[in-house]
Amino acid sequence: MQNSQISHDIFKRSELEDTIDKILKTGDLEINDLVYLLKSTEIQRLGFVGNDIREKLFGKQVSFINNIILNYTNVCITYCKFCAFYRPPGHAESYTVSKEEILQRIIFAKTNYDIKQVLFQGGHNPKLNTEYFEDIFSTIRSKCPDIAIHGLSASEIDMIAKVDRSSYREVLDRLHKAGLDSLPGAGAEILVDEVKEIISPLKISSQTWLEIMETAHRLGIKSSATMMYGTVETIEQRARHILKIADLQRKTSGFMAFIPWSFEPNKTEIQENGTVQFAMGGFELLKMISVSRIAFNGLIDHLQSSWLTNGIGMAQLAIFHGSDDFGGTLIGEEVVSATGARSTELLESNIVNAIKSMGFIPVERNNNYDLIRKY
């Protein structure tokens, strides 16, 4: 991975430049430096650096993937206060999708949209064991061998292990052999337990999330890392999240991408109880993208802007702050759409046009971020 040097015509000498130079030249991440950058209001200057690093790595290319999200169940017993999607067991609106319907959706999407990935995520359903997922994954693999399964967050793996009274390693190993290719980063939120105790007290701890991810990486299962910011966390707690991701990446090199996304409070318990009324907006997104690009320089190549929660316009601007990946088409998405915040599907043509209109070259990728088509 290439090192980025800051052009000295961008800055006059400043504490901001000194801090960024220190991180990029040494690779050392310290909590005080991250807090300083995350508190900065100099998003244009941060953006210059983020964009410079991105351009040295990827030139004018911005990637995306043709995929669907398959939310296989909304039954969940963790009752996260930031979620508008889940339903408790026995609720009139609860569902679990059958294997037959799952296969039908995937085959339809492959035929009509030429998808390369299924993002397979759902609630923490206490009736679903390892065999349920093994059966589904092996069927997908046999019927659609060229579609990657990017599925099951660390917290879902924890739920499956509890149902089967098994270890994380055994569950992950069995599912990997059945066809699971990689894990999404969901369930991380902010990797600080003081935050989790407020927004998701029944969900896995920060250490458990990291342990499951490390176990997956040791088994050869790559993953994404995410950060959901904008609930009750402090700037310092965001910085600690970044440090924990970086520490694990140094150990395993298992994270393919980092995806920061802004919490959408609409129709959630957090909004109803008055804790958070509004999403944080574009200023924090662009700063988060820039700082993440700087912090993960030399560690995690790919940085996704997540148009799903931030909107297409902000995802376009995020490219100029260091994001190199636009995410997926996300056909069939149900979790964010449950908030009623915005449209949660895009066609390939929409993404291609969004990237081209910013003067960049759209490239389609696969699950492993290999480029398979240039537009």
Pick out the residues of the known binding site for [4Fe-4S] cluster. Answer: 76, 80, 83
Binding residues: 76, 80, 82-83, 153, 189, 306
Q: Quick one: 117 exposed, middle or buried, by C-beta within 10 A (0-12, 13-18, 19+)?
A: buried
Strand pairing category for 361-365 and 61-65 = parallel
Q: How is the beta sheet containing 117-121 ordered, strand by strand?
A: 67-71, 117-121, 148-151, 180-183, 222-229, 255-262, 302-303
Report d(CA 175, CA 179) in Å as an integer: 6
Count of residues making up the chain: 375
**CB-based burial, 194-213: b 16+ in 10 Å, e otherwise:** ebbebbbeebbebebbbbbb
Binding residues for S-adenosyl-L-methionine: 82, 189
Binding residues for (3R)-3-methyl-D-ornithine: 153, 306
